[in-house]
Structure 1
Amino acid sequence: MDGKPGLRERKKQRTRAAISDAAIALFLEHGFNQVSVAQVAEAAEVSKRTLFAYFPTKEDLVVHRLADHETEAARVVRARTPGTAPLTALREHFLKGLQERDPITGLNDHPQVLRLTRMILDAPSLVARMDQFKTSAERALAEALRETADTPELTARFAAAQIVAVQGVLAQDNARRLAHGEAADARHTGAVADAELAFALLENGLRQLSSRH
């Protein structure tokens, strides 16, 4: 076995991608609330039953694209080099994301990314799902802190809530500035300065997080 997905799995991946692409195109053109699931299914040339087999809710058609980021902070903490404090690893990862214009940092001014961000903010149900996203991210990060940094459960939960919230505020501020016309390249220096300040404030309150790996 070469580890590559089989024919059936590749077909499922293509169908999933086709549904997602059709949904995002329609949502960006008409607005999330103005497009029905039936319209997405028709555009993707699948039945509603097939669509729901891949995406249980309408909101999943959008937020699934962010799914990898849900446990990103936890993965960073687990993968950090021995002797590196969790907060240090997370700070370096966020700064790298800014440098690479990772959309999750809010510092990406590609037209489609900006339109997608505005679409999410304009749809209350998507905003609510993003709140669930943050809750899941906190839970995963707290578990990683408990397991790799020997952090007591309550301390890990407090720390995870603060870290996820701060990263969210940084991303939101960057996205807001770009939505108002500021270029990502022009914003980068300020975004880095804000991130450095935010993580410094976190560090002052989270000094007891061990660097144990």
Structure 2
Amino acid sequence: MDEASPGRRERKKAATRRAIAESARRLFLSHGFHDVGIRDIASDSDVAVTTVFAHFACKEALVFENDHEFEFRLNHAVSHRSADVSLVAALKSELEKMLEHCTSSQAAPLWSMIDATEDLRVFEERMRSRHAITLADAIARSEGLPYPTIACRTVARFALDSFDLARRSPEPLKAVADVFTMIDAAWQARP
């Protein structure tokens, strides 16, 4: 097999990206987000600074390495759901899976750092806003609509905000269930 084949190249790029993100997380958790620079991360990852920026647009993006996967999973849950699964049920199920991972004891230190760092909180809010736009588009397409209606955009935004509300709740899964009860009622009542 040709070592320069696209499959191998893509696997190497993904491995480099993971290694950079893992180094960054470890350094951030050990020394604090603001006390670690891109050069520190590059050195720890044994890559050039330009390589870090080839994979991550900014320092904050290193903390949210799974940003695109999160967005993809929500859009996929909507657009590839079975005919017998409602839009709201599909979103709720996917968010519950994501929430289980993000509320694990392993993820707690990372979320504590995010909650304590204004730059990361702002980045996360912008990320959720961007995801709400693409999710509203996916909802509209799944409903055969030519564009995202107010109902599509509202459901998308509330679904994404439910993640943050539930993550901070003492009973995350109950919080998601409560929010999605309201989302479902609103979706059913749409004009």
TM-score range, shorter chain: 0.7 to 0.9
Q: Which residue of 1 aligns with 2:121?
A: 127
Is the CA contact (8 Å cut-off) linking 1:138 and 1:160 kept in structure 2? yes
Superposed CA RMSD: 2.4
- 1:115-156 CA distance string (max 9 Å, x none): 111111222111111011111221111111111113552321
Q: Tell me, yes or no, if structure 1 residue 196 matches structure 2 residue 177.
A: yes
The structural deviation recorded for 1:78 is 0.8
Q: Tell me, yes or no, if structure 1 residue 149 matches structure 2 residue 143.
A: yes
The structural deviation recorded for 1:53 is 1.7
Q: Which residue of 2 aligns with 1:160?
A: 156
Cα gap change, 1:97 to 1:15, in 2 (>3 Å) = closer
Alignment partners' CA distance in 2, 1:137 and 1:145: 12
Is the CA contact (8 Å cut-off) linking 1:22 and 1:40 kept in structure 2? yes
- 1:9-64 CA distance string (max 9 Å, x none): 33333322222222111111001111111111111222212221222211121112
Scaled by the length of structure 2, what TM-score is found? 0.84
Pairs aligned (count):
186
Cα gap change, 1:114 to 1:9, in 2 (>3 Å) = same
- 1:71-113 CA distance string (max 9 Å, x none): 3322111111114220122223334556xx322xxx3112xx1
Q: Tell me, yes or no, if structure 1 residue 109 matches structure 2 residue 90.
A: no
Cα gap change, 1:59 to 1:207, in 2 (>3 Å) = same
Cα gap change, 1:208 to 1:144, in 2 (>3 Å) = farther
Alignment partners' CA distance in 2, 1:97 and 1:45: 31
Cα gap change, 1:25 to 1:134, in 2 (>3 Å) = same
Q: Percent identity?
A: 26
The letter of the residue matching 2:47 is: V
The letter of the residue matching 2:119 is: S
Alignment partners' CA distance in 1, 2:81 and 2:65: 26
Q: Which runs of structure 2 are paired with 1:50-61 in the superposition (5 Å)?
A: 50-61=51-62
Partner secondary structure for residue 63 of structure 1: coil
Alignment partners' CA distance in 2, 1:196 and 1:11: 40
Which has the higher relative contact order, 1 or 2, with Cα contacts under 8 A spaced 6 or more apart? 1
Alignment partners' CA distance in 1, 2:96 and 2:10: 36
Partner secondary structure for residue 206 of structure 1: helix
